[in-house]
Amino acid sequence: MKYFSNMILPAIASLLILAACSKEKETTPAGSNTLAPLSVEFDNIVGGQNLQLNTGVYKNAKGETFSVSILQYFISNISVKKADGTEYVVPQDSSYFLIRESDPATRFARVKVPEGEYTSLTFTLGVDSLRHTMDLSKRKGVLDPAGGMEDGMYWGWTMGYIFLKLEGISSAAPVDGTGQHKYRYHIGGYGSPNFNNIKTVTIDLRAGGVAKVRQGREANIHLMADISKAFTGTHDFSIAEWPMIMLNDISIKMANNYATMFRHDHTEN
Ligand SMILES: [Cu+2]
């Protein structure tokens, strides 16, 4: 009997362990934890001020005053990283967002990532070049050229998506066809056939608070996006000199400027 239990009990125990392991495998894919909600909040500001569409009046680095009537931009290809370097890339099809200041519901990019603590966030500001060339059936929702985007964010097949659109009124801008002193910045360019204004942004979350992702809650990474950065940085823009920027070379300087606009403020866990 002693011999029997010495042999059998460990065998039963290891069978139980095996059963437990295989049961776990049924519910969770190997090597990853349960997915849980994570949001990234894009809180648009101008310098130290809150952005108020149409009514807010701001000053750029050249001392010109301006208001903002439209601000919208694409965020895509979100990934997060843990302190140990483990990275999770959100499945690309679920990773396109159009942030529109006119619609507060769009200020959150909501994704699902494995439970855990994340110290770094990476995303694309714009739309990756590969997606530009995909069939229209792969470009639905906010990427649908035929709809889903308020105030068009698409130029056409060869010119691609507008990554960031900033428009408003400035007395520094000349009077346009509508009788207004409008400035218009429509920035895009995915590398073919023109230059590439796709920007990859990485944000260190350690100082402002790591994201503790777990089920039953939505961790929220609260970012500030300071749109005044569009006017300054590698190049100080004068609205009088550049009241309209679209798919031209000067847009490279503006994209380099605004790529620095994100700052992590805090994380709600
Ligand atoms: Cu917050």
| 75-126 confidence digits (pLDDT tens) | 999 999 999 999 999 999 999 999 999 999 999 999 999 999 999 999 999 9
Structure confidence at residue 152 as a pLDDT band (50, 70, 90):
confident
- Segment 196-223 shows an average pLDDT of 97
Residue with tokens 């903002």: 68
Distance 134 CA to ligand 1 centre (A): 35
**pLDDT at 159 (0 to 100):** 87
Residue 17's H or E segment, with its range, is helix 2-27
**pLDDT at 158 (0 to 100):** 80
Distance CA 139, CA 128 (A): 12
Distance 267 CA to ligand 1 centre (A): 6
Residue 59's H or E segment, with its range, is strand 58-59
| Domains of the chain by residue range | 1-28, 32-268
Using the predicted structure, report yes or no on whether residue 212 has a pLDDT greater than 50.
yes
Q: Which residues surround ligand 1, an ion (CB under 5 A)?
A: 222
**pLDDT at 27 (0 to 100):** 43
Of 28 and 206, which is predicted with more confidence? Answer: 206
Using the predicted structure, report yes or no on whether residue 64 has a pLDDT greater than 50.
yes
Structure confidence at residue 22 as a pLDDT band (50, 70, 90):
very low
Using the predicted structure, report yes or no on whether residue 217 has a pLDDT greater than 70.
yes
**pLDDT at 32 (0 to 100):** 57
Residue with tokens 């001392």: 63
Comparing 31-45, 119-133, 165-179, which segment has the lowest mean pLDDT? 31-45
**pLDDT at 151 (0 to 100):** 66
Cα–Cα distance list, 213 to 40, 85, 98, 117 (Å) = 12, 16, 23, 6
Distance CA 76, CA 190 (A): 14
Distance 165 CA to ligand 1 centre (A): 24
Kindly report the pTM of this predicted structure. Answer: 0.86
Comparing 8-22, 116-130, 173-187, which segment has the lowest mean pLDDT? 8-22
Residue with tokens 């483990």: 86
Q: Which amino acid is at 196?
A: N
Whether 208 contacts 121, CB under 8 Å = no
Cα–Cα distance list, 52 to 43, 57, 69, 165, 209 (Å) = 12, 8, 9, 16, 27
Distance 38 CA to ligand 1 centre (A): 13
Nearest alpha-carbon partner for 239 in 182, 180, 176, 164: 182
Distance 40 CA to ligand 1 centre (A): 9
Distance 9 CA to ligand 1 centre (A): 54
Distance 105 CA to ligand 1 centre (A): 14
Q: Which amino acid is at 62?
A: K
**What are φ and ψ of residue 178, in 5° steps?**
-90, 5
Comparing 28-32, 48-52, 150-154, which segment has the lowest mean pLDDT? 28-32
Using the predicted structure, report yes or no on whether residue 8 has a pLDDT greater than 80.
no
Structure confidence at residue 192 as a pLDDT band (50, 70, 90):
confident
Using the predicted structure, report yes or no on whether residue 25 has a pLDDT greater than 50.
no
Cα–Cα distance list, 221 to 135, 184, 230, 232 (Å) = 32, 30, 22, 25
Other residues' Cβ atoms within 10 Å of the Cβ of residue 2: 6
Taking all residues of the chain, what is their mean pLDDT, rounded to a whole number? 89
Using the predicted structure, report yes or no on whether residue 145 has a pLDDT greater than 90.
no
Whether 191 contacts 99, CB under 8 Å = no
Highest mean pLDDT among 10-14, 32-36, 251-255: 251-255
Residue 201's H or E segment, with its range, is strand 199-204
Of 155 and 264, which is predicted with more confidence? Answer: 264
**pLDDT at 21 (0 to 100):** 40
**pLDDT at 208 (0 to 100):** 97
Distance 68 CA to ligand 1 centre (A): 23
**What are φ and ψ of residue 264, in 5° steps?**
-80, 120
Contacts 24+ apart (CB under 8 A), 29-32: 32/88, 32/114
